Structure 1
Amino acid sequence: MPLAARLLLAFGVVAIIATAFVGLTLREASREIIESGFADRIDAAHTGVRQQLAWEADALRDLLPPLCRHDTFVDKAHVELERAKGDPDAMDPTSRIALRRQVPSQAKALRLDELSLVAGNGSVLGAEDASRIGARDRRLAALIRAPGGAPRLRPAGAGGEPSLEVHCALTSHGVTIGLVGARRIGPVLDRIGATNHVRLAALGEGQDAPPSGEAEVVRVLDVAEIPGLRVAASVSRAPLTQALARLDRAIAATGATVLAIALGIAVVLARSLSRPLVALARETREVMGGAPRRVEGRGGRELADLAAAFNATIDELAAMRKRLAATERIAARREVARQIAHEIKNPLAPIRAAVETLRRLRQRDDPAFDDYFEEATSTVLGEVHRIANIVTEFTRFARLPAPNLEPVDLVAIARGVVTLHAAPGEATSTGASGAGRPRVELTADPIPKVSADRDQIVQVLTNLVQNGLDAASAVRSDPRVAVTIGPLPNDRVRIVVRDNGPGVAEEMVPRLFEPYATSKEKGTGLGLAIAQRIVLEHGGEISYRKATKGGAVFEIWLPVGGPPLLEKPPADTTVRPRGPEAP
């Protein structure tokens, strides 16, 4: 994966993870804060309910008893009831009407929601609600007979809304009359709930509050000041849901912005990092294919250090290559000198013997001198000619120039060599020929142009093709040599020269590329040595193997860009189209 893609992916993942982490943390913190606000509001409402109801209870405790003890309104009602001997129905109608009018005004004066004037038998003599007058209520009759004291809770099922109920009674001469007042709890709960933005509702006996859910938070509050009173406090979660939704939208927008910024930074960093690296890689390839010049590291101290290390490596490699070349030349010269000494030593023996024989015959004035003179001089001249050939071939090997590199078409070069060695009228690509005539074939795939010395490559191919024809012609009536050219990975090309001869003798294979190593009667043994030297100086390799069906196979691998660390890099690496081409 390219560096730019990796940076984009890394920055994108980091931005997403960071935004998600911060967003989730912020969302959870916001939810906890809002829900803690719900709890605080419910606690405040609980405190307010307890305080307000405690105040209401204290106020109601001392509100009615003074009326029953001292108020003329209660005394007058008691007198009228006493006249009627305790029977409310026997009371004077005018008195009863007066009592009915006075009770609502008393309730209003005392700020009571309900006020009832009740006879001992439970008959309602007066009430703020006229519909209750004349009714008989056993609960009220039992209530006024009970001792007075703290207000009691009247549940919702006991005749209306939940209320705080208080009473007082006046009993004289066997006649009992009492006042029962009540103040509803609902308005108090509504007022406190509105203040704290909490919905409060008193629960009846045996009634359970709805459970908390996604819609609202519900808590049951116990009011210790009013025994038996339970209040359900509920807060809607709608504000929480709306706040979290707004927060989610804000987090998503922030995440998108952060991701865009991160990707923008990644693009800038990728370009700032990848461009110097690409430039350094390009310069490195140019250096490896051309002159060992220094490269420049731009974009940061690390790249500058990398370029400096590469330059030091190139300098060291160039120095090592020069030392290696000098060492190889010295070793080659030593080996050639040894081979020449061996080759020259052999003809010197017959030359010396012939000269010494001539001198002895001359000193004795032997009549055989004239007859032997012709034979001896012929021997000397032949051996001298042989020494001259050895020296000439050595001079060719020693004076082999460095490659003159230029972009060349190997297929065209090989086609020219094949055409030169093929029988007259024979097609170079198909290899069709009559029996007994040498056949040279060429098979080539499209390859790029190669930086090489045209003349030296021709010399190598000519040597291999001619050697193959010579070897095959010695044992076969249909000598054949096949040349195959094709591409290889890593910008290389391969040349294969195969013949149908007997192959190289096993004892000659280890010394095949040594100077003066040959199995030919008239060969000098320098052809393959020169071919190997040319291939190596082109940065390639040459090898031999025996074909599976007999014959010799020579394989050559050449780099497309030419030998590394030479002065002339390749200028053209275009791909040659498939098809025949004239040499």
Structure 2
Amino acid sequence: QRISAWQDFARRLAHEIKNPLTPIQLAAQELDETYDGENEAYRKKLEHARAIIEEEVATLRRLVGEFSSFAKLPRADLSPSDLCDLAHGIQDAVPAILEDVGRGTPAPVEVRVTCATEPIRVRMDPMMLKRGVDNLLRNAIQSVYEAHPSGGGEVLVRAYRTEASGFIEVRDNGPGISRENWDRVFDPYYTTKTEGTGLGLAIVKKVVLEHGGQVRLDRAPEGGARFSIELPLMDSP
């Protein structure tokens, strides 16, 4: 119920922010394009102001996109699946994620994806759960880039099972997360980053709850953060 309330808030916030963005951008463009004076210094100020406005409008549009994405999270369409198939899909996506997250950062990051040899049968929505794991992976890569700017960053995505549960965990050798923040990181809009909305981990939690599972945070053996998603195994046939 609490997450549903946050989703409703995100929906209304996205609507209120989105509406004035286009008029603001158009007004800035019109001011710049209709000035026909000969004051070159003033023209440069107009161009500079327009560039700033357009950049900030683009930032707000990205934020609106994140708010809308959180607000529109669908109900999970669960079906029998193998967590190892999900892990293999994550493996295929790693190069694109590294290129996206590490844009402008030459330091290499090693991302390993492993899975148990036996099937890990759970009921899941593959696309929805992949989105949640993708968020965790992106966060981990960002963390190790910051902690190891010259290289040496490592991220492990591991799928495994116990007698009653299937797990997929994402852990890294980044700076980790302070213990006092462990209970808050999944709250919508809570973030310790200078940029971002604090919705990434809230989306992960919502996705996992839709699967009847749990997500936990603790310290990884490598010293960074470890996020573990636990899902109930399907009954054996």
The one-letter amino acid of 1:329's match is S
* Structure 1 residues 474-523: Cα deviation after superposition (integer angstroms, max 9, x where no partner): 3232222223333334x322222211111124565343123333344553
Deviation at 1:556, TM superposition (A): 1.0
Match of 2:156 in 1: 482
Describe how 1:117-516 pairs up with structure 2 within 5 A: 324=1, 328-334=3-9, 336=10, 369-421=42-94, 436-444=108-116, 446-476=118-148, 477-489=151-163, 491-505=164-178, 508-516=181-189
* Structure 1 residues 205-227: Cα deviation after superposition (integer angstroms, max 9, x where no partner): xxxxxxxxxxxxxxxxxxxxxxx
Say if 1:338 and 1:399 are closer, same or farther in 2 by CA, change over 3 A.
Answer: closer
* CA RMSD in angstroms, aligned pairs only: 3.6
DSSP-derived class of the 2:182 partner: helix
CA contact (8 A) 1:339 1:516 kept: no
Distance in 1, Cα, partners of 2:233 & 2:179: 33
Which of 207, 211, 217 aligns to 1:544? It is: 217
DSSP-derived class of the 1:557 partner: strand
Deviation at 1:540, TM superposition (A): 0.6
CA contact (8 A) 1:513 1:529 kept: yes
The one-letter amino acid of 1:484's match is R
Say if 1:521 and 1:450 are closer, same or farther in 2 by CA, change over 3 A.
Answer: same
Higher RCO (Cα < 8 Å, 6 or more apart) = 2
CA contact (8 A) 2:80 2:123 kept: yes
CA contact (8 A) 1:539 1:559 kept: yes
The question of 1:557 aligning with 2:236 is answered no
Deviation at 1:337, TM superposition (A): 6.5
CA contact (8 A) 1:494 1:555 kept: yes
Say if 1:495 and 1:330 are closer, same or farther in 2 by CA, change over 3 A.
Answer: same
TM-score by length of 1: 0.32
Distance in 1, Cα, partners of 2:190 & 2:76: 25
Say if 1:338 and 1:405 are closer, same or farther in 2 by CA, change over 3 A.
Answer: closer
Gaps of 5+ in 2: 97-106
The one-letter amino acid of 2:49's match is A
Match of 1:177 in 2: none
Distance in 2, Cα, partners of 1:388 & 1:405: 32
DSSP-derived class of the 1:474 partner: helix
Match of 2:99 in 1: none
Match of 1:157 in 2: none
Distance in 2, Cα, partners of 1:389 & 1:449: 36
Match of 1:284 in 2: none
DSSP-derived class of the 1:511 partner: coil
Distance in 2, Cα, partners of 1:366 & 1:340: 41
* Structure 1 residues 137-174: Cα deviation after superposition (integer angstroms, max 9, x where no partner): xxxxxxxxxxxxxxxxxxxxxxxxxxxxxxxxxxxxxx
Match of 1:193 in 2: none
The one-letter amino acid of 2:147's match is V
Say if 1:340 and 1:392 are closer, same or farther in 2 by CA, change over 3 A.
Answer: closer
Distance in 1, Cα, partners of 2:197 & 2:121: 33
Match of 1:530 in 2: 203
Among all aligned residue pairs of Structure 1 and Structure 2, give the percentage whose two residues are the same amino acid.
35
Match of 1:301 in 2: none
CA contact (8 A) 1:495 1:556 kept: yes
TM-score by length of 2: 0.72
Say if 1:371 and 1:529 are closer, same or farther in 2 by CA, change over 3 A.
Answer: same
* Structure 1 residues 223-277: Cα deviation after superposition (integer angstroms, max 9, x where no partner): xxxxxxxxxxxxxxxxxxxxxxxxxxxxxxxxxxxxxxxxxxxxxxxxxxxxxxx
Deviation at 1:371, TM superposition (A): 3.5
Deviation at 1:413, TM superposition (A): 1.3
Say if 1:337 and 1:452 are closer, same or farther in 2 by CA, change over 3 A.
Answer: closer
Say if 1:448 and 1:436 are closer, same or farther in 2 by CA, change over 3 A.
Answer: closer
Deviation at 1:454, TM superposition (A): 0.8
* Structure 1 residues 521-558: Cα deviation after superposition (integer angstroms, max 9, x where no partner): 55343221111110011111111112354111101111
* Structure 1 residues 79-104: Cα deviation after superposition (integer angstroms, max 9, x where no partner): xxxxxxxxxxxxxxxxxxxxxxxxxx
Say if 1:371 and 1:422 are closer, same or farther in 2 by CA, change over 3 A.
Answer: closer
Gaps of 5+ in 1: 1-323, 424-434, 562-571, 575-583
Deviation at 1:473, TM superposition (A): 2.7
Aligned pairs, number? 212
Deviation at 1:378, TM superposition (A): 1.9
CA contact (8 A) 2:121 2:166 kept: no
CA contact (8 A) 1:445 1:485 kept: no
Deviation at 1:400, TM superposition (A): 1.5
Deviation at 1:445, TM superposition (A): 5.2
Deviation at 1:419, TM superposition (A): 4.0
Distance in 2, Cα, partners of 1:559 & 1:446: 16
Deviation at 1:468, TM superposition (A): 1.6
Deviation at 1:463, TM superposition (A): 1.9
DSSP-derived class of the 2:230 partner: strand
